[in-house]
Amino acid sequence: QQQVKQSPQSLIVQKGGISIINCAYENTAFDYFPWYQQFPGKGPALLIAIRPDVSEKKEGRFTISFNKSAKQFSLHIMDSQPGDSATYFCAVARGAGNKLTFGGGTRVLVKP
Amino acid sequence: EPEVTQTPSHQVTQMGQEVILRCVPISNHLYFYWYRQILGQKVEFLVSFYNNEISEKSEIFDDQFSVERPDGSNFTLKIRSTKLEDSAMYFCASSRLAGGYEQYFGPGTRLTVT
């Protein structure tokens, strides 16, 4: 049972371009939707997160768009930089203190 | 900025041996978690821990696994008899109590079972 489907699996974008990663979830009880960034050999680092009471959240070059009715959320990386090259994971959770269920990950490569 | 720390960074063990992975969560956090990531795959939940007891565990977390908070700062994951398929990165995470949605991950321990 795959609760979170993430796409694409990999993405190549030119420096300055926009990276877009999508996630779809099944359970409407989820109420927390974070994105994590992971560099090789490192732990996942919390990048940005959204709750279902808003449709968009922006932090610097990173934006989450949330579509509650479609049960989808996406990460937009504006003005992508080579330093953004990493694997990005979406995740979902139901309630504070509860487990995160991760998507399969998207490997992003930003070409200079 | 406070961080979750984990030791060792890399552990090599033989099949059937016991291993203990150690974590020091962020000091004012009260929820603790272990996740694992097999090479190239997604991060998978193992167990969550709150108020000195397991809150939730996954089907991966069988009788070979146990967790403990032996003192006020450490949080450990023990694998009693390791199998080849236990080879993975193991991440500890922690979150605050009030509004504790945000989980902060440690750098991980790479466990290699030979």
A95 — pLDDT class (breaks 50, 70, 90): confident
pLDDT of A2 above 70: no
Whole-number Å distance between alpha carbons of A35 and A47: 6
Choose among B86, B75, B63: nearest CA to B15: B86
Q: With contacts defined as CB-CB under 8 Å, which chain A residues touch B4?
A: 43
- Nearest Cα to Cα of residue A57 among A36, A74, A71: A74
Residues B42-61 have a mean pLDDT of: 93
Planar angle of CA A27, A43, A100, nearest 5 degrees: 15
- Those residues whose C-beta lies under 8 Å from the C-beta of residue B111, and which sit 6 or more positions away, are B11, B13, B19, B21, B79, B82, B86, B87, B88, B89, B90
Q: Which residues of B touch A100 (CB under 8 A)?
A: 33, 35, 43, 45, 103
Question: A95: nearest CA in chain B?
Answer: B101
Contact B104 A49 (CB under 8 A): no
Q: How high is the pLDDT of residue B108?
A: 97
Third-level CATH fold of A4-101: Immunoglobulin-like (2.60.40)
In chain A, which residue's Cα lies nearest the Cα of B110?
A41
- Can you give the residue ranges of every domain in chain A? 4-101
Instruction: Cis check for the bond before A8: say yes or no (omega within 30 of 0).
Output: yes
The fold adopted by the segment(s) B34-97 is: Immunoglobulin-like (2.60.40)
Average pLDDT of the residues of chain B? 93
Max Cα distance, chain A (Å): 41
Residue pLDDT, tens place only, A42-81 = 999 999 999 989 999 999 999 999 999 999 999 999 999 9
